Amino acid sequence: MKQATAQPTKIGVAQFLLAATGALLVGVLYLRLPGDVVFGPRWLLLAVEAVLVTPPIILRLVDRHLPHRVSRIFSYVLLAVLTLALASSVALLVRDLTSLKPYDILTSGVLLWASNVLVFASWYWEVDGDGPLIRHRNAHQAADFQFPQQQGGNHTGWRAGFVDYLFLAFCSATALSPADTVPLTRRAKLLMMVEALISMLVLLLIVARFTNVV
């Protein structure tokens, strides 16, 4: 039996552009980081993101899209780059904590915390149900995460947008818990654990350093 191909709708394009914007914002935040907590030039991350995001965006805007497998490769390469950049900057912040000025510590902490939220919102968006296209084919049933609207089988056809995953990432980074959304799979739980650990580490570094300064 031939599987039906889901065509991108206006809502799907809007959500894709929103998710792409969220990922690109990480590169914009990195432009504001002190040079001591960034490997290489600060513009490099945004340039790499632009190379990976521009082709899918252009195709979507002209009502075309990449084959699903190719699209997933682009997405996971982008996520790997974002995660590597985030992890390396947190490591540099730990290394140079005693030598950085208080203002640079506070700036780095806030920007890295916000980047952490955006990076893992992008992870949740791409991982849940194996991506937006497969979620659409499966009628947006709960897969890796279960939102309140999906309880009981999601008979209303509710679909999670990027903002829903952004809220999930925000809750995980602040309350260190998923709030009203339940992680159902091991990979979802591992992602949330990693995000919470990074958030906790950044916040503890800021508090510890400023306590010593005072």
Using one digit for the tens of pLDDT, what is the confidence trace for 100-136?
888 888 899 999 999 999 999 999 999 999 888 888 8
The pLDDT value given to residue 88: 95
In a domain, 31, yes or no: yes
Query: What distance, in Å, lies between the first and last C-alpha atoms of the chain?
Result: 69
In a domain, 97, yes or no: yes
In a domain, 3, yes or no: no
In a domain, 91, yes or no: yes
Q: Residue 2's pLDDT band (boundaries 50, 70, 90)?
A: very low
**204-213: long-range contacts, CB 8 A cutoff, minimum separation 24:** 205/93, 205/94, 205/97, 205/105, 205/109, 206/105, 206/106, 206/109, 209/97, 209/98, 209/102, 209/105, 210/102, 210/105, 210/106, 213/102
In DSSP terms, which residues pair with 182 in a beta bridge? 146
In a domain, 2, yes or no: no
Q: What is the mean pLDDT of the chain?
A: 86
The pLDDT value given to residue 190: 96
Q: Which domain holds residue 142?
A: 10-213
pLDDT in tens, 85-102: 999 999 999 888 888 888
DSSP conformation class of 145: E
Is pLDDT of 57 > 90? no
In a domain, 68, yes or no: yes
In a domain, 4, yes or no: no
In a domain, 5, yes or no: no
Domain count, the chain: 1
* Separation between Cα atoms, residue 33 and residue 192, nearest integer Å: 25
Contact 132, 16 (CB under 8 A): yes
